[in-house]
């Protein structure tokens, strides 16, 4: 990363997250993303033609370029290029990292980046016949690793983690219960960064609820043995949603007197496709080492909760203080719109640090986003509060 050009997040927005088939089910991924992009530019009081690039993550679109559709819907001028990238669950965070790298390299001064996903409107997937007379074969997901690598069902892999770490079904349910409780407590404050301009864009996550432990323990077992199994309460539900940030060079942000979050560094790592959920541990350790920091230096960690067992194992391996984990609630409480989830983590960090503007300790200014993806991928981002020279 250049010592002279750094990227700053000056605005962050997201839609509410709604379970598949719920409040957002009539909207395509680009339709979800468009109002996010539009509000980001509005929040920064920036002319649309000052945007240099649009980058969105998406995992289920099956082709095309949803970022371009979203940008045009949002009124971004036609000459501004748009790119969609797919690293599955890491997509939204990787889009932000890519936008930051463009700025650090001097290739852009202002980038809209994030992710969008509609489980409800995702294409139906089928493999074409290979010979006359054969029929097309439907499938739910593509391969994430080729032979001879293992390519496990992600729920089965998460169930093996629960057994390996001794994470009982009760402890996983209690973890999910805490996620819902945090999200409920934060809901009134979260409304200000949720976009919403009609009945289809509500300003509250649709899945969040008071999760009673007894009810949670009665949720259907979906993977793994009875004692350590994963249930509907401890797996993030399939969901629709979009999230994004407006990135500026630190020079541009200072010139315009903008405050926000300075990106200190990002890290992408690959690992064992057979054990994908724990790759973020390596990404976090490598990034913190590069920044000469420790977990204790972080006021907050936004960790993707695709599975309670995966999140709990990561907490264990990084010795995370759970008081600093997902303080506005996690994905177990809102759902998992795959391509958007990584970007949602960053929006949550932006909101959390913005509410702590009077913090004086250096540690209170820094935070991390962390997510795993199918195929053995992990991405991490560390930020700190940024105040322009004139701000």
Other C-beta atoms closer than 10 Å to the C-beta of 70 total 31
Specify whether 336 is catalytic.
yes
Q: Which of 15, 24, 7 is nearest to 238 (CA)?
A: 24
Chain mean position to CA 116: 10
- Alpha-helical (H) ranges within 191-278 are 213-217, 250-255
Whole-number Å distance between alpha carbons of 359 and 298: 13
Residue of 53, 89, 110, 180 marked catalytic: 89
DSSP state letters, 105-123: TTS-SEEEEEEEEETTTPP
Specify whether 180 is catalytic.
no
Whole-number Å distance between alpha carbons of 352 and 200: 26
Whole-number Å distance between alpha carbons of 19 and 1: 38
Query: Reduced to 3 states, what is the DSSP secondary structure of residue 333?
Result: helix
Whole-number Å distance between alpha carbons of 337 and 60: 10
Q: Which of 323, 305, 154, 291 is nearest to 314 (CA)?
A: 305
Residue of 53, 180, 193, 336 marked catalytic: 336
Whole-number Å distance between alpha carbons of 383 and 360: 16
Beta-bridge partner residues of 114: 56, 244
Annotated active-site positions, please? 89, 336
């Amino acid at each position: 990363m250049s010592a002279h050009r750094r990227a700053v997040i000056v605005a962050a927005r997201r839609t509410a997250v709604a379970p598949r088939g719920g409040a957002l089910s009539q909207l395509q991924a680009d339709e979800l993303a468009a109002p996010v992009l539009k509000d980001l530019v509005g929040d920064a009081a920036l002319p649309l033609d000052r945007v240099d690039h649009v980058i969105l993550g998406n995992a289920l679109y099956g082709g095309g370029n949803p970022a371009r559709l979203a940008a045009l819907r949002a009124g971004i001028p036609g000459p501004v290029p748009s790119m969609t990238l797919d690293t599955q669950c890491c997509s939204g965070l990787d889009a932000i990292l890519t936008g930051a790298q463009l700025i650090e390299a001097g290739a852009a001064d202002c980038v809209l980046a994030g992710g969008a996903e509609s489980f409800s409107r995702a294409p139906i997937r089928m493999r074409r016949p290979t010979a006359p007379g054969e029929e097309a074969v439907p499938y739910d997901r593509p391969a994430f690793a080729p032979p001879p690598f293992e390519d496990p069902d992600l729920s089965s892999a998460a169930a093996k983690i629960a057994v390996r770490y001794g994470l009982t079904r009760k402890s996983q349910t209690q973890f999910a219960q805490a996620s819902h409780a945090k999200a409920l407590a934060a809901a009134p404050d979260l409304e200000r960064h949720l976009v919403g301009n009609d009945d289809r864009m509500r300003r509250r996550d649709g899945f969040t609820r008071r999760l009673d432990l007894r009810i949670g323990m009665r949720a259907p077992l979906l993977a793994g043995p009875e004692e350590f199994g994963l249930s509907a309460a401890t797996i993030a539900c399939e969901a629709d949603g979009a999230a994004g940030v407006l990135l500026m060079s630190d020079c541009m942000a200072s010139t315009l007197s903008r405050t926000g979050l300075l990106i200190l560094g990002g890290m992408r790592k690959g690992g064992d496709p057979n054990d994908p959920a724990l790759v973020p541990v390596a990404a976090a350790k490598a990034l913190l080492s590069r920044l000469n920091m420790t977990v204790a230096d972080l006021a907050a960690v936004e960790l993707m909760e695709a599975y309670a067992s995966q999140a709990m194992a990561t907490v264990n391996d990084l010795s995370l203080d759970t008081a600093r984990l997902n303080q506005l609630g996690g994905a177990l409480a809102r759902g998992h719109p795959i391509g958007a989830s990584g970007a949602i983590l960053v929006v949550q960090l932006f909101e959390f640090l913005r509410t702590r503007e009077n913090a004086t300790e250096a540690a209170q200014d820094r935070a991390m986003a962390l997510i795993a993806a199918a195929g053995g991928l992990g991405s991490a981002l560390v930020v700190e509060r940024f105040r322009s020279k004139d701000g």
